[in-house]
Amino acid sequence: MQVKDKRILVVGLGKSGAAAALFLEAKGARVTVSDSKPQTQLGGLIPQLLDKGIAVETGVHGERTFRDQDLIVVSPGVPVDAPSLTQARQLGIKIIGEVELASRYLQGKIIAISGSNGKTTTTTLAGEILALAGKKVLVGGNIGTPVIDLVGGSSPEGWNVLEISSFQLETIETFHPAVSVILNITPDHLDRHRTFENYVAAKARIFENETAEDSAVLNADDPACVSVSEGIKPNIFWFSRKKEVPNGAFLRGGSIVWKTSAGETNVLAVADIPLKGSHNVENVLAAVAVGMLAGCAPERIREAVKRFKAVEHRLEFVSRTNGVDYYNDSKATNVDATMKALESFPANIHIILGGKDKGSDYSVLNTLLRQRAKRVYTIGAAAKKIEEQIAGAAPIEHCETLAKAVKSASARAVAGDVVVLAPACASFDQFENYEHRGRVFKEAVFDLVAQPVGGGAR
């Protein structure tokens, strides 16, 4: 992709937008960045861009800014149907995302992992499996490192394990994984995609440029995954926690088995999985499939799984104080992820819910709340909606802030109980992102731990 001397606009000054702007400037493009947020909300990125001669527009998307470009690169957080982008499209200006831009330059094979839940855990584990098996591997994407930042370190013989979101898939053109993975598809981001059908269609774009030489790994237990498999070109390898599959990874007699037309291999025992929750068994099944398709030795896969530790903010054990366990699942940003958190503990759960609503139906939590929750603590902008939809399922305490919720839960919890942050919402009403929310939760828990006995925590 030739960008030298081209006028290129990068829309959205998040981590991936800033990385794309710097990459394009280094390639000789004439780069402008536009973000509708005021400069005060954009952190310390702007001086670095200005030092490189990149023009920066903040607080508004100027009509002329969008009109006078050869190419627009849009960040994942910017809706593709934003008025300024719609107008640019009508003028015939090409619009792509940061992942698409990066894929034009990235060397080596791509493993693209998507799904409503479990992406980060599976991507991290897959990367560790390949690395332990001696493969040259880079890990990035929605997991934190922009794909564009991997380009310089990529090589023709290497593997690039990428976590890919529905927002990133909306703006691909030629993005071509050798192995594509969809872990599950449950309602999420409906405030952006508007309908579940649109969301499913965005996820299914991961197969768009694959051929019969490529592989797709799909969840045989997930109806939406089964539906998107129809008519796709890559070879399909299933994974299942509930049944044996003809081609792929499944459970049999306490073991994870890999099966293809060439035969069967016992890869590891389920007891070797160090993570809590049946959803993490599914994540491991998918990662095993990726490892086997990448040519990793089963014993290396087994070793990587046994060594693996829970990813931060994903059902992460924080501390035990006065017999009460605290878990940070701030990455549970949708209802399905919160259901998985509830399913991970048999009973005595104090759960913190709330944040920025994404058009979710919280009433689907009610059965699990009745069975397992002692009390619900609501926070943030979605609190009232949540309280209305879960009324009667468990006692509810309206807390407004996370700090107050932790304090209230600690006062009510007794030895043998668990306190879990699994909000079922986005974080952007009160926090910069889910990581920030998770850190605030952990700090509040550590403050409890530091209190002397009788100092307020029970």
Q: Which is catalytic among the residues 15, 61, 109, 119?
A: 119
Return the closest-CA partner of residue 166 out of 150, 182, 145. 182
What would you report as the CA-atom Rg of the chain, rounded to the nearest whole angstrom? 23
189 annotated active-site? yes
SS3 117: coil
Residue 209 appears among annotated catalytic residues = no
Measured CA angle at 34 (ends 54, 88), to 5 deg? 115
Distance, CA of 248 to CA of 215 (rounded, Å): 11
Residue 436: active-site member: no
Catalytic residue among 15, 61, 109, 142: 142
Helices (H), 114-259: 119-132, 166-169, 190-193, 196-204, 223-228
Catalytic residue, candidates 189, 203, 259, 358: 189
The owner of tokens 């828990």 is: 445
CA distances from 399 to 193, 360, 375 (A): 30, 20, 12
Tokens 């007699």 identify what position? 253
Question: How many Å apart are CA 232 and CA 265, to the nearest integer?
Answer: 27
- Residue pair 25/1 in contact by the 8 Å Cβ criterion: no
What 3-state DSSP class applies to 35?
A: strand
CA terminus-to-terminus distance, the chain: 61
Q: Which residues are the active-site residues?
A: 119, 142, 189
